[in-house]
Amino acid sequence: MPSGTEQQALKAIEEAGGEATIVTVASKLRIETSYARLLCNSLGRADYIDVLATGVCRITLKGKKALGKE
């Protein structure tokens, strides 16, 4: 299960339609872009999201399950 801030980042991506840029995540959580990148990379390593080279984060099925959506 993701930690508190990671859970908030995951929720922000889900609220943006399941796909959001790192800048969008930072904006929604009101945090620095570098910290949002760190959170997204951490979620990506745990397979909750897919982090594309373009900086787009896409929620995975495991991420949806962690939010209780499926």
Tell me the whole-structure pTM to 2 decimals: 0.90
| DSSP H helices in 1-70 | 4-15, 22-29, 33-45, 61-66
- pLDDT band with cut points at 50, 70 and 90 for residue 1: confident
Q: What structural domains does the chain harbor?
A: 4-66 (1.10.10.10)
- State the Cα–Cα distance between residues 42 and 17, nearest whole angstrom: 20
Q: What is the pLDDT, as a whole number, of residue 3?
A: 83
* Residues 4-43: tens digit of each pLDDT: 899 999 999 999 999 999 999 999 999 999 999 999 999 9
